[in-house]
């Protein structure tokens, strides 16, 4: 195979995009990220984080479960204090800033080694992949920013032989551990030091010295974080959250929800994600290249066959576009394709003559792609879109730089030699590259328009405001706005700001919207096993004394129920098998304390203890 890298200019493949000035490119990325923040309303993950940020400093015991993301809470809490007049939109703006910085720092890291057009295309794909997930500042986006900075310091430290830079890289990994506990896997970046040493023939004593600097930096950051926790009075809470994290991986009847952190499940999920990613990329790419090879081979004998094969190729591309438009190929399918083509390119890149700098960069990029989803309960489904920053631009630059394909096969039989040749011309390969990139970009923008994270509707329907000072500037569908605004209106009559209540089970946004405080230590008890919920509920009753008002959802609001309330799941939410045991705990608590329902609509109900007097 002829693999002539960087022989076709990005100016020829994507002439309009290549003329885009770098500064304007980043401004446009920022605008894309901002304009998607006004629409879509999620009660679960965004509410979980927003409530965490609101109370980490003044009521840390009410969000103690969240302390497994302690540094995320510190950064988010500071950001929320600064931008509190902007409410939820202000916290979403924090994520816009972080993601824009990720793009800028990745560009600065790679600009000396990649075609600038392909680098910007890779960054655009990474940004479009992000726009199908939660919008608020969160531990995944912060983890990505810290990772990019870590790689920057390690790489420049290796290049300039400055151990202090590698120390800083290790320090950032230590801090990233407190952004998100599974980031402990990033200590494996020490392998990059030895891989760099192997590529550049560094002596072993030098490699061990640099690795020592990395490890010392990591340990220094851990010590600093623990000291900061101690001074803030957060250390015991953090330790308690880690105990809960380990307990969540044991004894779950429904591991897809309750036991997502079990080691065996995570390993199995990693294997399945890897296979699925490679399959999603290999099949369409093999079809395109294989069809062209066959068309060229048979074209000499039968031109009609060549035209028929080309017709099949273009029909297949139109079929893919139809599947995207009809939502049969969703944003998760495209994510698996992007990760798959990145991993497939690694097979060629690490076995061909590519510059040493590109190889070490791609090592760091692939390490992130492979390791980051491992720490998530749902692997690529929840974390895969955040780890594309380095790997995708490098892989895209490598694949788009391949000029043509020429495969010669020799067969030997006794004294006879038979040769056959397969090829794809430069013009044909350029066409494939354009088609693949444009389809990926089309899918990215199309899925961006149909906001899929727990508010999966056409954006043209999301023009109804939410009646809370904390939610101003956020718009959703008419049905969702109506039922939630009804809940907000009724809550103002029954609850006061800073009152401790229970919002059950996946609706923590209620706390943020009403400025109330979680009665239990977890604003989202829907992630608990029944045993953990029972223990937290008992401890909270003992700690708080007074029985709380309970706000309870009566329809599903996440996953397949993301089009609520206009489209609700047919099954009764309280009968959902995965919630059954935990619901029994709450029902027992409500019965034991004579709770009674005083208000409800199609999505929510409010219950108060039997001895509570209505205002």
Domain boundary among 426, 449, 472: 449
Residue 121 has pLDDT above 90, yes or no: yes
In a domain, 455, yes or no: no
Domain boundary among 449, 482, 498: 449
Q: Do 208 and 141 lie in a common domain?
A: yes
SS (H, E, C) 272-339: HHHHHHHHHHHHHHHHHHHHHHHHHHHHCCCHHHHHHHHHHHHHHHHHHHHHHHCCCCCHHHHHHHHH
Q: Do 442 and 471 lie in a common domain?
A: no
Q: What is the pLDDT of residue 43?
A: 95
Beta strand 500-504 pairing with 517-518: parallel
CA distances from 11 to 117, 232, 404, 472, 581 (A): 7, 54, 18, 44, 60
Residue 426 has pLDDT above 60, yes or no: yes
Q: Do 474 and 599 lie in a common domain?
A: yes
In a domain, 615, yes or no: no
CA distance 509 to 523: 9
CA distance 179 to 181: 7
Q: Do 432 and 546 lie in a common domain?
A: no
Q: Do 76 and 164 lie in a common domain?
A: yes
In a domain, 225, yes or no: yes
In a domain, 5, yes or no: no
Helices (H), 180-262: 190-199, 204-232, 235-247
Q: Do 442 and 468 lie in a common domain?
A: no
Of the pLDDT bands very low, low, confident and very high (cuts 50, 70, 90), residue 494 is very high
Torsion angle in degrees (nearest 10) through CA of 562, 563, 564, 567: -130
Of the pLDDT bands very low, low, confident and very high (cuts 50, 70, 90), residue 250 is low
Q: Do 110 and 146 lie in a common domain?
A: yes
Q: Do 417 and 555 lie in a common domain?
A: no
Q: What is the pLDDT of residue 118?
A: 94
Q: Please write the tens of the pLDDT for every residue from 24-67.
A: 999 999 999 999 999 999 999 999 999 999 999 999 999 999 99
Highest mean pLDDT among 298-312, 445-459, 477-491, 554-568: 477-491
In a domain, 1, yes or no: no
Q: Tokens 């926790």 belong to which residue?
A: 229
Q: Do 325 and 407 lie in a common domain?
A: yes
Residue 126, both tokens: 């990474």
In a domain, 456, yes or no: no
Domain boundary among 449, 484, 504: 449
In a domain, 4, yes or no: no
Residue 408 has pLDDT above 80, yes or no: no
Q: Do 107 and 154 lie in a common domain?
A: yes
Q: Supply the mean pLDDT for the chain.
A: 90
Of the pLDDT bands very low, low, confident and very high (cuts 50, 70, 90), residue 14 is confident
In a domain, 536, yes or no: yes
Q: Do 389 and 505 lie in a common domain?
A: no
Residue 166 has pLDDT above 90, yes or no: yes
Q: Do 476 and 557 lie in a common domain?
A: yes
Structural domain boundaries, residue 308:
10-449
- Range of lowest pLDDT (191-205, 234-248, 474-488): 234-248
Residue 385 has pLDDT above 50, yes or no: yes
Q: What is the DSSP string of 129-180?
A: HHTTS--S--HHHHHHHHHHHHHHHHHHHHHHT-HHHHHHHHHHHHHHHHH-
Q: Tokens 């790419």 belong to which residue?
A: 285
Q: What is the pLDDT of residue 10?
A: 57
- Range of lowest pLDDT (451-460, 477-486, 557-566, 597-606): 451-460
Counting the structural domains of the chain, the total is: 2
């Amino acid at each position: 195979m002829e693999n002539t890298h960087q022989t076709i200019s990005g100016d020829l493949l994507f002439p309009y995009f290549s003329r885009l000035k770098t500064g304007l490119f980043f401004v446009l990325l920022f605008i894309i990220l901002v304009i998607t923040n006004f629409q879509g309303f999620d009660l679960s993950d965004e509410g979980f984080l927003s409530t965490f940020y609101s109370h980490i400093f003044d009521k840390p015991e009410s969000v103690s479960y969240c302390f497994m993301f302690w540094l995320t809470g510190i950064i988010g809490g500071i950001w929320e204090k600064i931008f509190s007049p902007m409410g939820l939109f202000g916290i979403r703006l924090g994520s816009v800033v972080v993601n824009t910085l990720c793009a800028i720092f990745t560009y600065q890291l790679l600009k000396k080694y990649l075609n600038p057009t392909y680098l910007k295309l890779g960054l655009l794909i990474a940004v479009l992949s992000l726009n199908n997930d939660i919008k608020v500042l969160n531990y995944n986006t912060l983890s990505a920013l810290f990772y990019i900075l870590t790689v920057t310091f390690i790489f420049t430290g290796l290049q300039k032989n400055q151990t202090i830079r590698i120390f800083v890289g290790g320090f950032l990994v230590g801090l990233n551990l407190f952004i998100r506990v599974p980031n402990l896997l990033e200590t494996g970046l020490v392998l990059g030091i030895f891989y760099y040493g192997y590529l550049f023939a560094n002596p072993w004593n030098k490699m061990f010295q640099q690795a020592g600097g990395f490890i010392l930096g990591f340990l220094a950051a851990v010590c600093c974080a623990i000291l900061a926790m101690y001074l803030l009075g957060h250390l015991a809470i953090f330790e308690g959250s880690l105990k809960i994290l380990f307990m969540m991986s044991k004894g779950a009847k429904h591991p897809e929800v309750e036991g997502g952190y079990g080691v065996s499940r995570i390993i199995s999920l990693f294997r399945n994600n890897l296979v699925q990613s490679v399959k999603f990329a290999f099949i369409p790419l093999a079809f395109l290249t294989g069809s062209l090879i066959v068309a060229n081979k048979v074209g000499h004998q039968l031109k009609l066959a060549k035209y028929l094969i080309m017709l099949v190729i273009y029909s297949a591309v139109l079929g893919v576009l139809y599947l995207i438009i009809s939502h049969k190929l969703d944003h998760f399918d495209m994510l698996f394709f992007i990760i798959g083509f990145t991993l497939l390119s690694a097979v060629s890149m690490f076995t061909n003559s590519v510059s040493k700098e590109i190889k070490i960069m791609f090592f760091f990029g692939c390490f992130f792609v492979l390791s980051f989803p491992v720490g998530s309960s749902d692997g690529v489904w929840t974390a895969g879109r955040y780890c594309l920053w380095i790997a995708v631009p490098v892989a895209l630059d490598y694949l788009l730089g391949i000029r043509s394909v020429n495969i010669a096969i020799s067969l030997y039989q006794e004294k006879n030699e038979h040769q056959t040749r397969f090829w794809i011309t430069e013009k044909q390969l350029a066409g494939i590259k354009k088609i693949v990139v444009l389809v990926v970009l089309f899918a990215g923008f199309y899925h961006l328009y149909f906001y899929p994270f727990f508010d999966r509707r056409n954006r043209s329907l999301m023009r109804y405001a939410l009646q809370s000072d904390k939610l101003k500037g956020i718009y959703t569908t008419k049905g969702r706005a109506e039922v939630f605004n009804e809940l907000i209106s009724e809550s103002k009559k029954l609850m006061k700001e800073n009152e401790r209540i229970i919002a059950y089970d996946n609706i923590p946004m209620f706390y943020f919207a009403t400025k109330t405080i979680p009665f239990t230590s977890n604003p989202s008890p829907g992630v608990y096993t029944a045993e953990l919920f029972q223990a937290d509920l008992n401890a909270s009753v003992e700690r708080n004394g007074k029985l709380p008002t309970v706000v309870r959802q009566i329809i599903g609001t996440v996953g397949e129920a993301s089009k609520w309330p206009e489209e609700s799941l047919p099954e009764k939410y309280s009968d959902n098998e995965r919630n059954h045991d935990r619901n029994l705990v709450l029902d027992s608590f409500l019965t034991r304390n004579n709770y009674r329902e005083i208000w409800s609509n199609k999505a929510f109900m409010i219950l108060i203890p039997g001895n509570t007097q209505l205002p």
